[in-house]
Structure 1
Amino acid sequence: MHMKQTCRSSARMLTVGTLLMALLAGASMPGRAVAAEAGKTAGQKPVSRFTQVEAGTFYSLALRNDGSVWTWGRNLWSELGIQEHMTVTSIAAPVRLAGLDEIVSIATNGGGYQLAAKADGSVWEWGRSLQSVKQGIRPRQVAGINGVAAVEAGATSGFAVKRDGTLWAWPREGSAAAANASNGPARAAGISGVVQLTSYGDLAAAVTKEGAVWLWHASASEAAFQPLKPIRVTGLPKIKQVALLWDTAYGIDENGRTWSWSWTYGGVKGSYSVNAIKQIGQPKKIQAVMKMKEVKAGDGYALFVTSSGEVWTNSQTQPGKLVKRSGLPAASSAAAGGYHGLALDASGRIWGWGADKWYEIGTPPTSPDGMIYKPVQVEREINLTANGKRLESIFPAVQRGRSILVPLRDTAAVVGAVFKTVNNYEGQFMIIEYKGNTAELGWNKAKLVVDGKAMEIDYPTGAWSGVTMVPCSLLKQLGVSISWDGASRTVSISG
């Protein structure tokens, strides 16, 4: 018996068809070097670009072609995986997650828990813990599961497609079933050749290379981890991709047409226990004109991406009708968050719209009510290195015009500079000492004094995600060596 999840979990779709089909055909697993070739032309360095984007409730994450993972938005419940004990409630721009490299796929359950598959077949987890909302999980490997090509994050379970096309599930950290060491990963009986995977709560939907769709429930909310028998959805043509939304599923067939059907749980009346999955009626074609290439499901709505890159969503006032999301470039993929949407364009840049009070769109709101009504581009990601090593700060660097702003305290620490704040009758100002040079600067000002001499900097100091940010030009004035690589979007600091 399994406890039915009453809260929203995952409605994410992970497009892994090309990767999984290649693996099933006997190809080797692509690693970081392969991924880094994306966006590269002859004689040029690889150009950094995002290849996958996912959205949860008030937060977002994305995978870059160098195998790195970036995240932003709310961290009130430790969703982002940047701290074990939450002290920072939000991050306003993409920040690179420490400890995650050579990643080939990412997933979120929408409620703050994330999974990733690495090029070596291992699985990694981070984000919100089931034990405490103030206790976060920094990226760490999930024991007992390997040989994985793609993942999906459930409410109490994790799901994975292995390189051989089989479907697996295991109890999530902190769940009732995880306390029992005998509850290891379980395989979905009778399912093979999986090329696409999605989940909602603890229900997974898998598409096989033959175009069949299977539903599989695997809850870890009770001491015994006993996934239910999978069921095959009947009445569908050959499907290439699916998404789950509450009690509704969407599928896109090989001709780009969209189908919908309903499902429910069987159980004991008056309780939340689940003992079966049931299909309700037969699938119906809901859109016969536009050719779709992807569907993503969020809380109460879905996003559809056409073959030409248009993004459409369910009408809130006219059930069954789709409404176009205007103001976007041609999209290659999309992500449906709780209250915001994201789109990935052909160049690998991310666009967002909707709620932004927690910076889940990755840039400040454009409206006083904390909303972004017209799609805007998410802040561009910036790598930070110091003395040849990655600077692993939980705060992002940001670009303003031609200026790069970096978190002062973390940057000063790695180059050996001393940073302190001083209050006097004129207000608060900062003092930075580096190799015999001393700089004094006021808050939110573009002027500083270095060893008594007034100088201009190209952008004012200020706050971002609650920390002091300064332009790289200030550090240069002190004698710190700074360089910029536009292809990898990396600021290199040495001192």
Structure 2
Amino acid sequence: MLKVIMLSAALLVLLVVTAGVSVAESSVDLPGFISIKGGQSHILALGDDGTVWGWGLNSEGRIGIEQNDVIVTQPARVEGVSNVTAIDSFFSDSMALRDDGTVWVWGESSRYFKNDSVGLQVPVQVPGISGVRQVVCGQWYGIALRDDGTVWAWGSNDHGQLGDGTQVSAHYYTTPVQVPGLSEVRLIATNGGTIFAVKADGVWAWGATHEAMTGWSGMGKKVYTSKPIQVVSLPGIVSCAVNNEQLYMVTENGEVWVKDGTSNGSLIPSRVFGLQDILLVNAGISHVVALGRDGSVYAWGENDHGQIGDGTTTDRQTPYKVDVPPAKTVFAGYYQTFIIDENDDLWGWGRDEIGELGAGKSQARTLPVKASFNGDAITPIETATTSTVTSQPQINTVTGQPASGPGFGANIIVVLGCLSITAILISRYAGGKR
């Protein structure tokens, strides 16, 4: 249901002055970004100095700033965590791995690790785990790969995410547990519901997945497996990414392979033709981006928001070479695509409703645009006095999960006018594709 609020220009000026949010002004030099990750409506960037920055919608503290329900269009520094080597995010959660092997979280799920006196925007350490070399953030859970090749999980276990043979929906597990039966793991990945672990002999999976993804024949129905099972037999995997229904893998020789989880998918991986000498892949909700060893960028899949970068909104079933400068890394957001080029410039294309691309607000950008971050720093929306945005999901207990289930958060679209500012708030809904 759409809720419309009219905010006077004077009130908006007052809110900007009193917001108290620390963001990067145009005169402040940002670090070089080396990694980009994105949740439903927010973007995180890892600086080459180990700092973490965020922009987009800050709801439930996901960007790491105190002021809630604001749109941040210039990078805001995430305070309270430093010396970071890796980041990840999903929905309204954010996660960081420090150089000492510890894991830190902020955003909606961080409420389970702290008392009410500490805000959700303050990073908190996940207890009971260290020596971590990779982290992935799922839907109300986290997964860590340790230096010894073991995999550890915490959070919600309603789909068997802990991988220990149990499936319990009434608790949020704050202490990481080791996933039994897995060793010598090289990489981990998740699409929010299914967890994948890459070993020398292929890929193992557990959680909520499709029958075809598990290797079982069927009609593509979603199933739950609470213990890791092998889903792909393919040696030499160096990169993997997963979207809603496909698992993509890059092998040592630069080939790209896909395991289809839809009802008409093959039970064995198939080669993605038209690609060679690929270094890594990344996947959004329903599109994929690949980085070549020469810095070339390829994208394919759904294109309803222009996330392919070909100047259209027409879906592409085969890889399209995007016209961008040579890239050092690529990232597929929910409905966006980002690259960092050889000059450390950030480029993006796709959905840009609240300034996710760092180039001002636009409904969609079908061609790459360089991030400039030269707009207004923040647009605060004081929803507490309006009753127009639904409240946060109810928390049953300290170790419980939200009674209403995982939500995407409120999307805020600000339309600038001559005499007033109209804010259209699309209320929170739990799950589903927009």
Partner of residue 254, structure 1: 252
Distance in 2 separating the partners of 1:130 and 1:337: 22
Paired amino acid for 1:204: I
* Distance apart, 1:284 and its partner CA: 0.5
Superposition map of 1:154-173 within 5 A = 154-171=138-155
- CA apart distance, 1:285: 0.5
Q: Distance in 2 between matches of 1:51 and 1:183?
A: 30
Change (3 A) 1:288 1:190: farther
Write the distance in 2 (CA, Å) between the matches of 1:94 and 1:338: 19
DSSP-derived class of the 1:184 partner:
strand
Q: TM-score, normalised by structure 2?
A: 0.64
Any residues of structure 2 matched to 1:177-326 within 5 Å, and which? 184-208=175-199, 210=200, 212-217=202-207, 228-263=226-261, 281-316=267-302, 317=314, 320-326=317-323
Residue 150 of structure 1: aligned partner:
134
CA deviation digits over 1:343-382, x for unaligned, max 9? 11233332111222211112313xxx53333322223xxx
**Partner SS for 1:233:** strand
Deviation of 1:466 after TM superposition, in Å, equals: 5.4
Confirm or deny: 8 A CA contact 1:59 1:358 kept in the other structure: no
Deviation for aligned residue 1:461: 12
1:7 — aligned with what?
Answer: none
The structure with the largest alpha-carbon Rg is: 1
Letter in structure 1 aligned against 2:206 = W
Whole-Å Cα distance in 2 between the matches of residues 307 and 54 of structure 1?
Answer: 21
* Structure 2 counterpart of 1:118, from 98, 101, 104: 98
1:305 Cα shift?
Answer: 1.3
Q: State the alpha-carbon separation in 2 of the partners of residues 75 and 182 from structure 1.
A: 25
Question: Which residue number in structure 2 is paired with residue 434 of structure 1?
Answer: none
Separation of aligned partners in 1, 2:104 and 2:300: 33
- Structure 2 SS opposite 1:165: coil
The match for 1:95 among 70, 73, 76 is: 76
TM-score, normalised with respect to structure 1: 0.56
- Which sections of structure 1, spanning at least 5 residues, go unmatched? 1-46, 220-225, 266-278, 380-459, 468-495
1:362 to 350, 358, 362: 358
Q: Which residue type is aligned with residue 153 of structure 1?
A: C
The letter for the 1-side match of 2:348 is G
| 1:68 aligns to 2:51 (yes or no) | yes
Q: Tell me how far apart the structure 1 counterparts of residues 235 and 197 of structure 2 sit (CA, whole Å).
A: 15
| Contact 1:315–1:323 under 8 Å retained in 2 | no
The code of the aligned residue for 1:215 comes to: A
Q: 1-side partners of 2:173 and 2:137: how far apart?
A: 21
Contact 2:107 2:120 in 1 (8 A): yes
The within-5 A match list for 1:459-474 is 464-465=378-379
The answer on whether the counterparts of 2:275 and 2:319 sit within 8 Å (CA) in structure 1 is no
Deviation at 1:331, TM superposition (A): 1.0
The superposition leaves residues 88-130 of structure 1 with CA deviations (integer Å, 9 ceiling, x where unpaired) of 4210011110001011111112x12111111122110012349
Is the 1:93–1:378 contact (alpha carbons within 8 Å) kept by the matching residues of 2? no
Q: CA RMSD in A?
A: 3.5
* Change beyond 3 A, Cα 1:189–1:466: closer
Q: Which residue in the other structure is 1:375 paired with?
A: 368
Q: 1:402-481 alignment to 2 at 5 Å?
A: 464-465=378-379
Paired residue secondary structure (1:362) = coil
How many angstroms apart in 2 are the aligned matches of 1:120 and 1:178?
32
Matched, 1:343 2:330: no
Deviation at 1:241, TM superposition (A): 1.1
**Greater alpha carbon shift after TM alignment, 70-79 vs 144-153:** 70-79
Q: Is the 8 A contact 2:203 2:233 kept in 1?
A: no
Aligned position for 1:394: none
Whether contact under 8 Å (2:190, 2:242) holds in the other structure is yes
Measure the CA separation in 1 of the matches of 2:271 and 2:96. 33
Q: Give the Å deviation of 1:238.
A: 2.1
Q: Which amino acid aligns with 1:314?
A: W
Q: Which amino acid aligns with 1:376?
A: V
Identity of aligned residues (%): 30
Cα gap change, 1:288 to 1:193, in 2 (>3 Å): farther
Partner residue in 1 for 2:6: none
Q: Distance in 1 between matches of 2:80 and 2:110?
A: 21
Letter in 2 for 1:303: V
Offset at 1:207? 1.9
Match for 1:355: what amino acid?
Answer: R
How many correspondences in the alignment?
A: 312
Between stretches 93-102 and 168-177, larger displacement belongs to 168-177
Instruction: Give SS of 1:361's match.
Output: coil
Name the CA distance, whole Å, in 2 between partners of 1:283 and 1:174: 28
The DSSP-based 3-state class of the residue aligned with 2:145 is: strand
Contact persistence 2:65–2:76 (CA under 8 A)? no
In structure 2, relative to structure 1, the CA distance for the partners of 1:116 and 1:318 (3 Å cut) is closer
Unaligned 5+ residue runs, structure 2? 1-29, 113-118, 160-166, 210-223, 303-313, 382-434
